[in-house]
């Protein structure tokens, strides 16, 4: 679930990432990964989403499917991503 509490991300073997409005059931946008395989997906606090394919992370706006920024530096396949701010929020909830 994205930060807005309404948008859900899904991925498929067709190498797309789709964003859905869970209230209306509408497909909000679609990102085509072409020949790249999705390795990890992480929602960000600014409302964007980070998508890792191979050794590159790309940040997209889920409402428009526009590429915001690309991040390169890994030499091997990325296997996971975590938004530490989301983790802290969840940890605080567990301690209540």
Which three-class secondary structure state does DSSP give residue 94?
helix
Residue 93 confidence class, pLDDT cut points 50, 70, 90? very low
CA dist 29 and 71 (Å) reads 22
Tokens coding 10: 């899904």
The length of the chain is 96
The alpha carbon of residue 14 and the mean position of all alpha carbons in its chain are separated, in whole angstroms, by: 16
- Which pLDDT belongs to residue 22? 95
Residue 38 bridge partners (DSSP): 53
Percentage of the residues of the chain whose pLDDT score is greater than 90: 66
- Which pLDDT belongs to residue 5? 86
Phi-psi group of 4: left, alpha or beta (phi > 0 → left; psi -120 to 50 → alpha; rest → beta): alpha
Q: Domain residue spans in the chain? A: 7-94
Class of domain 7-94: mainly beta
3-44 confidence digits (pLDDT tens): 888 999 999 999 999 999 999 999 999 999 998 999 999 999
In this prediction, residues 61-89 reach a mean pLDDT of 85
pLDDT mean across residues, the chain? 86
CA dist 77 and 6 (Å) reads 31
- Which pLDDT belongs to residue 9? 93
């Amino acid at each position: 679930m994205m930060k807005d509490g309404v948008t859900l991300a899904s991925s498929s073997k067709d190498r797309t990432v789709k964003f859905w409005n869970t209230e209306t059931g509408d497909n909000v946008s679609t990102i085509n990964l072409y020949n790249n395989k999705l390795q990890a997906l992480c929602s960000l606090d600014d409302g964007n989403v980070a998508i890792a394919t191979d050794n590159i992370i790309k940040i997209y706006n889920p409402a428009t499917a526009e590429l915001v920024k690309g991040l390169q530096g890994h030499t091997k396949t990325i296997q996971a991503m975590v938004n530490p701010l989301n983790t802290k929020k969840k940890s605080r909830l567990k301690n209540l």
